[in-house]
Amino acid sequence: MLELKSLYRVFRDPDTMAALAASIAKDAAHLSEPLNIMEVCGGHTHTIMKYGLPGLLPSNIRFIHGPGCPVCIMPKERIDQAAILAAQPGVILLTLGDMMRVPGSHGSLAQQRAKGLDIRALYDPLDALAIARDNPGKTVIYFAIGFETSTPMTAVLLEQAERLGLDNLLFHINHVLVPPAMDAVMAEPATKVNAFIGPAHVSVIAGADIYRPAADKYHTPVVVSGFEPVDLMESILRLVRQKNDGRSEVEIQYSRAVTAEGNRTAQAKVNQVMEVRDEFRWRGLGPIPKSALKLRDEYQHRDAERVYGERLPIVEIDDHKACQCGDILRGLADPTDCRVFGRGCTPQTPLGSCMVSSEGACNAYYRYSGGPNVL
């Protein structure tokens, strides 16, 4: 086992945290307007809440939670498509983690599994190869989700399936892209966002430069941050300093893993098998042009959307009327603003997927701060 403790201990050091908190307080006193930082990625939201960071910051710095959770932004019709695929004769449906819990029109995939459908959560997408190999008489469909971070794994899985001749492994592609979602957030006239913490895992693959257009167009500083408490505090300090200096640059705080151009090999693998879709409907944000990927024509034999196309409804299905996930994902509301938060909507009985996911903002608020009695 790796000595992981040595890798993260320094990033949770109490003295460093106290020093950063003091520097932020000192510099933030000079801000001409409140700093409303959108942390686009749900992983950052959870770090912020899990480590109690808001309590260390002055009142003119606040977080606005963004749409960067692959589970939260999945519209219901796509989950329904997954359930329909799983119900086809001889199909094994595979997906990742929290996707099992998101409510579709007829319950979650976990509930469909309890009814007898063969739906499995993978630890590693490449486990799909063994499942396809061990079930030659069945059609194995990988319900692929995630941002730029997880897309290369899907591309590698497809490449391996081709190489091994596993013709019974199909894909339902739901991979989405971060920059168009940031544009959608900033296009909202009521947005208060004036700084971004850039999703770091995304940039490990896609590079930090993907945020440069947003920084230029909206005059917002962007800092690509790691996920440890010290990473986030340092990133906040950098944002405060950029704002005080009147700069709107893309800075890489997470330099131990992120470069400006990203992982070119991974990008090439993705480009080889996938291309940008004309449009994809995001939960809460609506249809966003060029915001998602699909399989290229030469891989249509592996595309579950094409193979089972006639059976997959494409009618848009809206969320429960009381659910305010849309406003939360657009950065217009906090989880605690939602009138069903913690009452009609809890992790056990979620109305919306922001309450489901271990990257969802509502889940983070409910779990770590108890909602209305925020610590």
CB of 4 to other proteins, least distance (A): 4
Judged by phi (left if over 0) then psi (alpha if -120 to 50, else beta), residue 167 lies in alpha
The residue ranges that bind other proteins (CB under 8 A) are 1-5, 8, 12, 14, 17-18, 21, 43, 49-53, 55-56, 70-71, 96-101, 110, 121-124, 127, 145-147, 149-150, 201, 229, 347-348, 358-359, 366-370, 373, 375
Q: Pick between residue 122 and residue 276 the one whose CB is nearest to other proteins.
A: 122
The SS3 of residue 287 is strand
The nearest distance, CB 154 to other proteins, in angstroms, is: 12
CB 3, min distance to other proteins, A: 7
d(CA 255, CA 63): 23
Collapsing DSSP to helix, strand or coil, 60 comes out as coil
Per DSSP (E only), the strands in the chain are 35-41, 61-68, 91-96, 119-122, 139-146, 169-175, 195-198, 222-224, 250-252, 274-276, 279-282, 286-289, 293-295
The distance of closest approach from Cβ of residue 71 to other proteins in the complex, given in angstroms and rounded to an integer, is 7
Nearer to other proteins, 96 or 307 (CB): 96
Whole-number Å distance between alpha carbons of 73 and 360: 10
Choose between 22 and 187: whose C-beta lies nearer to other proteins.
Answer: 22
| Minimum CB distance to other proteins, residue 310 (Å) | 30
Cβ 298 to other proteins shortest distance, Å: 27
CB of 100 or CB of 285, closer to other proteins: 100
Q: How far apart are CA 141 and CA 124, in angstroms?
A: 14
Residue with tokens 């939201």: 45
Instruction: Report the nearest approach of other proteins to the CB of residue 287 (Å).
Output: 23
Task: Between 221 and 350, name the residue whose CB sits nearer to other proteins.
Answer: 350
- 288, β-bridge pairs: 280
Shortest reach from residue 16's CB to other proteins, in Å: 9
Q: Which is nearer to other proteins, 320 or 367 (CB)?
A: 367
CB 197 within 8 A of CB 40: yes
User: Nearer to other proteins by C-beta: 58 or 97?
Assistant: 97
Nearer to other proteins, 146 or 326 (CB): 146
Cα separation of 282 and 255, whole Å?
Answer: 30
* CB closer to other proteins out of 80 and 359: 359
3-state secondary structure 304-351: HHHHCHHHCCCCCCCCCCCCCHHHHHCCCCCHHHCCCECCCECCCCCC
The CB-of-8 to other proteins minimum distance in angstroms stands at 6
What phi, psi does 139 have (nearest 5°)? -105, 120
